[in-house]
Structure 1
Amino acid sequence: MPVTITQDPGTAPGAVSAKPVPAAAATRPPSRPVVTAEQRRRSPQRRRRVRRDAMLFLALIAPNFLAILVFSYYPALYNIGLSFFDWDFVAPRPEFVGLENYLSLLTDPSFGEVLRNTLVFSGVSVVVSIAGGLLLGSLMATKVPLTGFAQTMAFAPHMLPGAAVGTLWLFMFDPNYGLSRWLFSQLGLASPDWTTTSDWSLWAITIAYTWQRLGFVTVICYTAILDLPKDLYEAAALDGAHGWSLFRHMTLPLLSPITFFLSITGIISAAQAFDIISIMTNGGPGTSSSTLSWMVYEEAFKTFDIGTASSAATILLIILLVITWIQVRAGERTVNYA
């Protein structure tokens, strides 16, 4: 072991004493200067690494970002710009008219009916599909017989094209040969003319669209219920909770993020529905089953009034943004309260 020679205060002057020094202390390198966090952040190596990571990030997101920019944001902004012009697809240049398209649209009596149809169609289809999906998803989660077959049959309508769904329900609503005639005949009543009268046409497309979306909502709710923590249900069962009480006070609060997601996507999808309306009612009779999305199509490709069509599309965009904002704020308040 290395030794060191030191002057002992208790000895005579000139006397020395040898004390052993640990080998680790003898071979210990000199301490390095302390580098602060601010110095590490400003080091050239770190700056080069940050720039390299940023370039890699931009390179990875560039294809998707450009696709969203070109196919989503640019058309939306271009549509908003066209709403201030009068154009018929034929004139070489659009004519600027300012807010005239919006004023004529908002003062049109038929626009109020179209707006009401849109809200009724979207609201009823979303509420009924979520309520039915929660119920059917809960039943399938109880491991009833033929659960796999029930899942397949529930999800099948969502996989069908809207045109096929509309054609199927046209046969079912046929007042002479359809399923509707047989059901009403069992009650001693005559089947209404679902798609040819203004009293029933809106409900006809609402029923068909809700049936198509119900399978998707059911499978989402069923999957979410299976992922819920089982220990909470066991504790609630020990406290005597069961049946409707368990579903109301346990399942529904735990599924609030899923229902929030389904409500937003459902409203956006329903507000843009087109194929079922085109096949079943063609927006009629009159405007009794016309929604804003159908109105945009008619104004743009039947009457060639691009300004009015763009104004209707812009109003639809604003309505969807407002509804989404309200739902997001309501969801945040629910989470904070919980």
Structure 2
Amino acid sequence: MGRSDIGAATQRIPTTTRSNPARLATADAVLPPGEAALPRPSRPGLEARRWNKRTRRDALVFVAFAAPNVLLILLFTYRPLITNIYYSTLDWTLGAASATSVGLGNYVEFFDSPDASAVLGVTAIFTVTTVGGAMALGLLVALTLNQRLKGRTFARAVVFAPYVLSGVGVGLVWLFIFDPTYGVLSWMLRGIGQLSPQWVNDPKLALVMVILVYIWKNLGYCAVVYLAGLQSVPPQLLEAASLDGASSARRFVSIVVPLLSPTTFFLLITTLLSSLQAFDIIRIMTPSGNGTSTLIFDSYLQAFGSYNRAGYSAAISVVLFLALLIMTAVQLRFVERKVHYS
């Protein structure tokens, strides 16, 4: 066989066979001389059937796992929300057999009432102070617990314990402490010749009392989350900055704080939503809402207090829902731009 015949035979061998010597030897051993190996014909119909069968199976598995959750969310979240929006358009006394449609009248009445500014102001003060106080103090506690201290595991458990306690129990205990007549704080102040402030009777002091208790309860949650964020900070960066002569405060501001931005963003959203929906502690410590009527508590008083105005209460609830929705959207839209995820 001449060189031209060898070249022609080589050109007839597929590229995949020429590139693999082992397959070339197998082809030469099986095929007669002068015949090239042909690629196996594809079967698109079979592959399509296999793909469709696998896709249908995956879809059925997804539906089997997701359908119960979606059904429960629709039944216990979106259905009550839609029903509450409908109730907010009614002039309905709780327990009455009939109701009158008033459209947006309940909303107009709420924003025109002199109590609206007070309720919105109390809600803003309570939310800002509880969120800011819990996050700031939680970061300081996390920085302390992140040190190599003896008994720090027990200290972490003690700090986090109030967060998992019942809000009713926490409110009752602290109400006994703040009671101006029989409280522990009153007894201590009388021991040094001082009178106890009227925490429960004074509207301003009642709001301060509730804020302090709520910060104390959520402090452990913020501390534990911040502690997890601090432990994820690479120690090599802090050591390099220390070798360059950066002080501890400089390292904290320039390295730790930016790396904690995802943790701070997460806490900002969760604590904000939690504070706007705080109810149990306020209800236990100030049952009549004396200076502590936030949006959610005022909604409760309107429906189940002496007013029994279910439609008006539903309108206040919708206002609270819109406030939560707007604040969450603003945080996701603007605050997240300052977050460093890497």
TM bracket (short chain): 0.7 to 0.9
Partner of 1:60: 65
Q: Compared with structure 1, are the counterparts of its residues 23 and 248 closer, same or farther at alpha carbon in structure 2 (3 Å cutoff)?
A: closer
How far has the Cα of 1:160 moved from its partner? Answer: 1.5
CA contact (8 A) 2:262 2:339 kept: no
How far has the Cα of 1:96 moved from its partner? Answer: 1.4
CA contact (8 A) 1:217 1:262 kept: yes
Partner of 2:296: 293
How far has the Cα of 1:240 moved from its partner? Answer: 2.1
CA contact (8 A) 1:196 1:284 kept: no
How far has the Cα of 1:229 moved from its partner? Answer: 1.8
How far has the Cα of 1:60 moved from its partner? Answer: 0.7
For structure 1, which segment, 65-74 or 170-179, has the greater mean C-alpha deviation from structure 2 after superposition? 170-179
CA contact (8 A) 1:41 1:47 kept: no
Equivalent residue for 1:32, pick from 40, 57, 81: 40
CA contact (8 A) 2:207 2:292 kept: yes
Q: Higher helix fraction: Structure 1 or Structure 2?
A: 2
Partner of 1:19: none
Q: How far apart are the structure 2 equivalents of 1:220 and 1:336?
A: 17
Equivalent residue for 2:334, pick from 330, 333, 336: 330
CA contact (8 A) 2:160 2:221 kept: yes
- 1:31-70 CA distance string (max 9 Å, x none): 13578xxx69982221221122111101111111111111
Partner of 2:117: 112
How far has the Cα of 1:241 moved from its partner? Answer: 2.5
Q: How far apart are the structure 2 equivalents of 1:225 and 1:58?
A: 39
Q: Compared with structure 1, are the counterparts of its residues 129 and 63 closer, same or farther at alpha carbon in structure 2 (3 Å cutoff)?
A: same
How far has the Cα of 1:185 moved from its partner? Answer: 6.7
Equivalent residue for 1:208, pick from 208, 213, 218: 213
CA contact (8 A) 1:151 1:219 kept: yes
Within 5 A, what are the aligned runs for 1:69-218? 69-181=74-186, 190-218=195-223
Partner of 1:313: 317
Q: How far apart are the structure 1 equivalents of 2:46 and 2:329?
A: 39
Question: Could you tell me the TM-score, scaled by structure 2's length?
Answer: 0.85
Q: Compared with structure 1, are the counterparts of its residues 176 and 116 closer, same or farther at alpha carbon in structure 2 (3 Å cutoff)?
A: same
Q: How far apart are the structure 2 equivalents of 1:169 and 1:183?
A: 15
Please tell me whether residue 245 in structure 1 is matched to residue 247 in structure 2. no
Q: Compared with structure 1, are the counterparts of its residues 186 and 89 closer, same or farther at alpha carbon in structure 2 (3 Å cutoff)?
A: closer
Runs of 5+ consecutive residues of structure 2 not aligned to the other structure: 6-23, 32-36
SS at match of 1:43: helix
- Alignment RMSD, CA only? 2.6
Please tell me whether residue 266 in structure 1 is matched to residue 260 in structure 2. no
How far has the Cα of 1:191 moved from its partner? Answer: 2.9
For structure 1, which segment, 169-178 or 319-328, has the greater mean C-alpha deviation from structure 2 after superposition? 169-178
Question: Could you tell me the TM-score, scaled by structure 1's length?
Answer: 0.86
How far has the Cα of 1:212 moved from its partner? Answer: 0.5
How far has the Cα of 1:182 moved from its partner? Answer: 6.3
- 1:201-245 CA distance string (max 9 Å, x none): 111111111100001111111122112222222222222223222
Q: How far apart are the structure 1 equivalents of 2:340 and 2:80?
A: 37
Q: How far apart are the structure 2 equivalents of 1:41 and 1:331?
A: 51
- 1:75-99 CA distance string (max 9 Å, x none): 1111111111121233334321101
- 1:259-284 CA distance string (max 9 Å, x none): 11111111111111111111111143
For structure 1, which segment, 58-67 or 327-336, has the greater mean C-alpha deviation from structure 2 after superposition? 327-336
SS at match of 1:200: helix
How far has the Cα of 1:183 moved from its partner? Answer: 6.7
Letter in 2 for 1:139: T
CA contact (8 A) 1:196 1:281 kept: no
For structure 1, which segment, 265-274 or 124-133, has the greater mean C-alpha deviation from structure 2 after superposition? 265-274
For structure 1, which segment, 204-213 or 231-240, has the greater mean C-alpha deviation from structure 2 after superposition? 231-240
